[in-house]
Structure 1
Amino acid sequence: MIGYNDTGWPSLGLDRGILRALAKKKFKCPTAVQSRAIPLVLAGKDVLARAHTGSGKTAAYLLPAIHKIMQRSDSKTKSNPRVLILVPTHELAQQVMKEAVSFLVECAPTLRAGELTCSGSADVLPRNFAGVPPEILVSTPSRVAACIRGGKFPPRALNSGLEFFVLDEADLLLSFGYEDDIRCIADATERGCQCMLVSATSPDDLSKLKAIVLHNPVNVDIALENNFVSGRVKEEQVTTGKSAVMPLISHYALEILEKDKLLYCMALLRLGLCKKKSLVFVSSPDAAVRLRLFLHKFGIPCCVLHEELPANSRAHILHEFNRGVYDYMIAAADDLSSSISVVNDDNKDFTKHTKRKRNAMSHAQTEFGVVRGIDFKDVHTVLNLDVPISASDYIHRVGRTGRAGQPGTAITLTTPKNARALEDMLSRHSVSRHDTRSAIALMPYKMLRREAVEALRYRAEDAARAVGRTAVREARLRELRAELLNSERLAAHFDGNPTDLALLKRASCLISHQEQPHLCHLPSYIRSQKVTCSSAKTGKKNKHTEGEKLTDETTDEIHDDHDEPSEYLKKRKTSRSKDFAHKSSNPSSKNLSWKGAN
């Protein structure tokens, strides 16, 4: 982990066991938010912390929470949770729980961390813990509130023994409509329980939650800019910028036509202009599946993540992506769900039908989240195929890269209609947050040349026609049948009903799936465009630049490429004949090389 602060871990007052765990996990030194927040939590103060994504906010509340439990391990309230952590999505709950377990294994093996799963009814939720909750309980507010209302927790489970109450991604908890659930939980907790709110946006947006759970909190506001600011505002406040490092993200905008989005996305990935690993955001599950089918035709393996997949499948996909099985992930962004707030960032929406979509969103979707909180490992590039509907959504999308001090790149494909609107939206966001020095400046993306895109156009248009609504529907059906076959709950049913299993497998085989392996091959005349793009900066000569002749091997490769249409071959043959006639009549042109058709 890259540290931002000169102060070491021992000076924060953490237990020695935690220090040993930090050393084993190679946490060299605390980040700015950790060095400011941890001593305040250990001192028993309520804390409201704001820091950018990837700044170590999770450890800022997990470490002091574990310290408190270790210091009072002889407590008489072992039958109740000692720490309650609320997060907006099931995926983030799993991530926080795994991080807590990784620390406990190293410093306190007898302590436990657990999660209230989002599947099943409230009647079966506490059974996972055999009647004894873990010391650290992580969940979404709706799960905990369901247990409280249904009387599934032990008596006074949250009123006696709960020492630390954490709300992670607090702004998103409000956006997802969890306010009533949080009030229910707060009423069930002991009045003097210490609380901490963690967010990536301005604390001014959290006035409702502050009134519900905090008591005379200390604001820890880690500014994005590198200027040192100090002072007191309304409440006791610790603000810093000296030790905070602004996320090293380069923001680019590429203006194209709406119909060319698939083409440009494929060109960016196929020509290697997006450094791996890459995360591609689209607007809906159908769009995600269509893009995966489209990219698959060009030999670009990728995985898809969206809210309609079962929780176990989503967890497996995240795990496979994080361990490097896939270099590209297509995610259906949960922008609509993350924008269900009383006041929108920009007081206006990008689409006229956003409000109707918001009202139609199911509760199951609110417990799924990709844009915020989830820690994708080693993501270097974020590609927005669709413009986010708010500045906050844009910030949290691109926040999946540039984490822990690592550089990252964010590319947004815009259209003539929304290019200017995106810039204005980001500008208004920085002004409303009084954060103009850290305003996001979108730069035009110039690494992808138009000639390189046009060389791929005829391939892309044919492939795009092959992945229409019917193909997407068939792919979704295959996806659903695969989930049914892999379902643990249906395994017993299939054992007793082998005919149903055979019919389901047969139905999966009946769906046609045409392969076009020739599209995976990238001819040299197209690859030369890629080299030209990169050589403009490096100063290296292109393989097909002037002064170098095209080799026989390369020429054969181009002519043997059977996926080119006959019209295209005829045009190039005519072009080569003209070039030959020109060379014969003009002696000075003998040393000129043929560059390949664009």
Structure 2
Amino acid sequence: MAAEMLQFHEMGLDDRLLKAVADLGWSQPTLIQEKAIPLALEGKDILARARTGSGKTAAYAIPVIQRILASKQCVREQDVRALVLVPTKELGQQVQIMMRQLTSYCSRDVRVADISGKADVSTQRPILMEKPDVVVGTPSRVLAHLNAQNLVLHSCLEMMVVDEADLLFSFGFEADLKNLLCHLPKIYQSFLMSATFSEEVQALKELLLHNPVILKLQGSQLPDSSQLQQYTIKCEEEDKFLLIYTLLKLQLVRGKTLMFVGAMDRSYRLKLFLEQFGIPACVLNSELPIQSRCHIITQFNQGFYDIIIATDEQSLASSQTTSGKKKKKSKEKGGKAKDKEYGVSRGVDFQSVSNVINFDFPTNVESYIHRVGRTARADNPGTALSFISHTEMDLLSQVEEALSGDSADPVLKPYEFKMDEIEGFRYRCRDAMRAVTKQAVREARLKEIKQELLNSEKLKTYFEDNPRDLQLLRHDKDLHPAVIKPHLKNIPDYLIPETLKGVVNPLSSKRRRRMKFKPGGVVQSSFKKNVRGKNPLKSFRYTGRKDKTGKADPS
């Protein structure tokens, strides 16, 4: 008989912490939380692997807060007691939000500061001078503050957490992390949290942990087929656009959807392509400020829109073995300034995602796991669909081999879809693709940056002092990224495949009630009548031309 699960109230947690947990609606701990929290409270170092969405953040946040509250019982000076290292700014904000939710009843006793998000180190100095109990940041940002002596850890640090540990080295933080360790005390408790056990995690284990407890809580790195359905469909470049248009426009894909592409330009191209058909989508751009990116994520989570197009450029870049010459060439060309600490597929909490679509297939197994891990979180179901071109077949084989393990059944199943049934949409697809030129993509990106400048709080004072610059920016010529063709928004009934006519209803019942169908097939709707309800062409009567005397001219 299996042992009963340990509940939160049985872990010896502070009442204020238990109240916050209850407010979050957590009736019982997840597996990682049940196993990790008691061990952490005993003071043990922990290396934990648990899949995305399993509650890893709370698994370390709860014991960190509990230990700080316990230490506050003694009379001690205010100091930084815990450091949480994250690979991306987005994850830094997410961790801070979680920490603040858990400390809602003890916010005076446990103060949390996120230093990963803002660009200026000097502006964060006052926050750190107050010595918050928990500091959240990327390795590079924490090291910058340590070197500037805004942050001192060698005498006070008690706990250190590395979240998404397998990503730190691939984001280029190896040197920063090693330099950072020189500023830490000899003894402190460490937590390493990861969805995979890679070589990078093993290297971190050697650097940071002392006789750790290793928790491998799931055999599979993704939920099983009862919760997560994974499909693939083989299609080349033009067919990818045709297929995504058909799936979305015919509502074969429903619910919140996260689409991944391989490069930023492609994300804008896909967005502009979908806009041709009246399908709204939002791009999560690594060139935008962290506040804007987090605002986009918040709007998506609150249901303002259902489709986000994103890249996971850092993990893609790290997996590609480029020669020194190529790297040098790219530097000489002067690439666009992307945020080094940007990450989408890893750590960011997209809520209630029903579908993940790999428009471009990821370049390694880890990236696939973290992309697809955005859906089917906790106990919610999810679907993953990957478009596979002939050049990506080897990558597909690697993913299948990694996920299937000893099982004979493939985890990624072919998506049964007859491409010949949607051939009627191809001309529309080509029409839309012609409108989305390189110039249109570039102008769309400029328009978004211009909008950011207008909305920037930092530039608000500047524009108040320089109103002419604001007027020039506002009255700059309007950008039309792509010519929108209204006829593409609607789908004629004759184009819908016979097999899908039972699924797709191109006209809502409300519109059907408004329209009257005549035997000749001409649609007459109410908006054609004038205000008085008369047709002016039918009511017009010709009475003949009159001469100067007012009599009718017989001619």
TM-score range, shorter chain: 0.7 to 0.9
Where 1:309 maps in the other structure, the secondary structure is coil
1:109-128 matches, within 5 Å, as 109-128=108-127
1:471-490 matches, within 5 Å, as 471-490=440-459
CA shift, 1:359, in A, is 7.8
Where 1:126 maps in the other structure, the secondary structure is helix
Match of 2:175 in 1: 180
Cα distance between partner residues in 1 of 2:391 and 2:413: 17
Evaluate the alpha carbon distance shift between residue 357 and residue 275 of structure 1 in structure 2; reply closer, same or farther with a 3 A threshold. farther
Where 2:122 maps in the other structure, the secondary structure is coil
Cα distance between partner residues in 2 of 1:50 and 1:406: 20
CA shift, 1:449, in A, is 3.6
Match of 1:426 in 2: 399
Query: Residues 188-216 of structure 1: CA distance to partner in whole angstroms, max 9, x if unpaired?
Result: 12211100000000265422211211111
Cα distance between partner residues in 2 of 1:555 and 1:216: 83
Query: Residues 427-471 of structure 1: CA distance to partner in whole angstroms, max 9, x if unpaired?
Result: 44358xxx545996211111x442552222111110110011011
Evaluate the alpha carbon distance shift between residue 96 and residue 409 of structure 1 in structure 2; reply closer, same or farther with a 3 A threshold. same
My pick for the range that moved more, 74-83 or 173-182, is 74-83
Q: Which amino acid aligns with 2:33?
A: Q
Match of 1:159 in 2: 154
Q: Which amino acid aligns with 2:149?
A: G
Query: Residues 10-35 of structure 1: CA distance to partner in whole angstroms, max 9, x if unpaired?
Result: 23332222222212211011111111
Evaluate the alpha carbon distance shift between residue 86 and residue 364 of structure 1 in structure 2; reply closer, same or farther with a 3 A threshold. farther
Match of 1:220 in 2: 215
Evaluate the alpha carbon distance shift between residue 190 and residue 271 of structure 1 in structure 2; reply closer, same or farther with a 3 A threshold. same
**Is residue 409 from structure 1 mapped to residue 383 from structure 2 by the alignment?**
yes
CA shift, 1:319, in A, is 0.8
CA shift, 1:531, in A, is 3.1
Where 1:382 maps in the other structure, the secondary structure is strand
Evaluate the alpha carbon distance shift between residue 257 and residue 513 of structure 1 in structure 2; reply closer, same or farther with a 3 A threshold. closer
Task: Give the TM-score taking structure 2 as reference length.
Answer: 0.84
1:289-438 matches, within 5 Å, as 289-334=268-313, 337-338=314-315, 356=327, 365-418=339-392, 420-430=393-403, 435-437=405-407
CA shift, 1:524, in A, is 2.3
Match of 2:419 in 1: 450
Query: Residues 50-89 of structure 1: CA distance to partner in whole angstroms, max 9, x if unpaired?
Result: 0111111001000111111111114555432111100000
Evaluate the alpha carbon distance shift between residue 74 and residue 187 of structure 1 in structure 2; reply closer, same or farther with a 3 A threshold. farther
CA shift, 1:270, in A, is 1.2
Evaluate the alpha carbon distance shift between residue 481 and residue 108 of structure 1 in structure 2; reply closer, same or farther with a 3 A threshold. closer
CA shift, 1:286, in A, is 1.1
Contact 1:169 1:200 in 2 (8 A): yes
Q: Which amino acid aligns with 2:315?
A: S
Match of 1:171 in 2: 166
CA shift, 1:257, in A, is 1.9
Match of 2:56 in 1: 57
My pick for the range that moved more, 176-185 or 365-374, is 176-185
Query: Residues 267-291 of structure 1: CA distance to partner in whole angstroms, max 9, x if unpaired?
Result: 1111112121000111111111111
Match of 1:575 in 2: none
Cα distance between partner residues in 2 of 1:358 and 1:88: 27
1:524-535 matches, within 5 Å, as 524-527=493-496, 529=498, 531-532=500-501, 534=503
**Is residue 147 from structure 1 mapped to residue 124 from structure 2 by the alignment?**
no
Match of 1:591 in 2: none
Contact 1:158 1:190 in 2 (8 A): yes
CA shift, 1:36, in A, is 0.9
My pick for the range that moved more, 182-191 or 293-302, is 182-191
Query: Residues 462-518 of structure 1: CA distance to partner in whole angstroms, max 9, x if unpaired?
Result: 011001101111111211211111122222222222222121122242657633222
CA shift, 1:126, in A, is 2.0
Cα distance between partner residues in 2 of 1:353 and 1:185: 28
Cα distance between partner residues in 2 of 1:370 and 1:477: 22
Where 2:385 maps in the other structure, the secondary structure is strand
1:186-265 matches, within 5 Å, as 186-202=181-197, 205-225=200-220, 248-265=227-244
Match of 2:26 in 1: 27
Evaluate the alpha carbon distance shift between residue 148 and residue 363 of structure 1 in structure 2; reply closer, same or farther with a 3 A threshold. farther
Contact 1:430 1:439 in 2 (8 A): no
Match of 1:133 in 2: 131
Q: Which amino acid aligns with 1:13?
A: G
Match of 1:521 in 2: 490
CA shift, 1:556, in A, is 4.0
Evaluate the alpha carbon distance shift between residue 208 and residue 410 of structure 1 in structure 2; reply closer, same or farther with a 3 A threshold. same
Cα distance between partner residues in 1 of 2:143 and 2:376: 35
**Is residue 286 from structure 1 mapped to residue 285 from structure 2 by the alignment?**
no
Cα distance between partner residues in 2 of 1:532 and 1:554: 22
Evaluate the alpha carbon distance shift between residue 504 and residue 363 of structure 1 in structure 2; reply closer, same or farther with a 3 A threshold. closer
Where 2:459 maps in the other structure, the secondary structure is helix
Contact 1:340 1:358 in 2 (8 A): no
% same residue: 38
CA shift, 1:333, in A, is 2.4
CA shift, 1:326, in A, is 0.6
Cα distance between partner residues in 2 of 1:484 and 1:503: 12
Contact 2:220 2:403 in 1 (8 A): no
Cα distance between partner residues in 1 of 2:398 and 2:291: 36
Bigger Rg, structure 1 or 2 = 2
CA shift, 1:162, in A, is 1.8
Q: Which amino acid aligns with 1:338?
A: S
Evaluate the alpha carbon distance shift between residue 452 and residue 276 of structure 1 in structure 2; reply closer, same or farther with a 3 A threshold. farther
CA shift, 1:403, in A, is 0.5
Cα distance between partner residues in 1 of 2:324 and 2:499: 40
Cα distance between partner residues in 2 of 1:128 and 1:218: 34
Match of 1:82 in 2: 81
Cα distance between partner residues in 1 of 2:265 and 2:276: 17
Cα RMSD (Å): 3.2
Match of 2:535 in 1: none
Segments of 5+ residues of structure 2 without an aligned counterpart are 509-515, 526-555
Match of 2:41 in 1: 42
Cα distance between partner residues in 2 of 1:452 and 1:76: 74
My pick for the range that moved more, 474-483 or 82-91, is 474-483
Contact 2:257 2:353 in 1 (8 A): yes
Q: Which amino acid aligns with 2:397?
A: D
CA shift, 1:112, in A, is 1.6
1:441 to 407, 411, 423: 411
2:251 to 272, 276, 297: 272
Query: Residues 137-176 of structure 1: CA distance to partner in whole angstroms, max 9, x if unpaired?
Result: 11111110011122222xxx21223221000000101111
Evaluate the alpha carbon distance shift between residue 512 and residue 152 of structure 1 in structure 2; reply closer, same or farther with a 3 A threshold. closer
Evaluate the alpha carbon distance shift between residue 198 and residue 9 of structure 1 in structure 2; reply closer, same or farther with a 3 A threshold. same
Contact 1:175 1:339 in 2 (8 A): no
Cα distance between partner residues in 1 of 2:159 and 2:520: 70
CA shift, 1:530, in A, is 7.0
Where 1:206 maps in the other structure, the secondary structure is helix
Segments of 5+ residues of structure 1 without an aligned counterpart are 227-240, 544-550, 561-598
Query: Residues 363-386 of structure 1: CA distance to partner in whole angstroms, max 9, x if unpaired?
Result: 953311001000100001000110
My pick for the range that moved more, 94-103 or 158-167, is 158-167
CA shift, 1:105, in A, is 0.7
Q: Which amino acid aligns with 2:293?
A: R
Cα distance between partner residues in 1 of 2:522 and 2:176: 64
Contact 2:355 2:384 in 1 (8 A): yes
Contact 2:274 2:280 in 1 (8 A): yes
Where 1:383 maps in the other structure, the secondary structure is strand
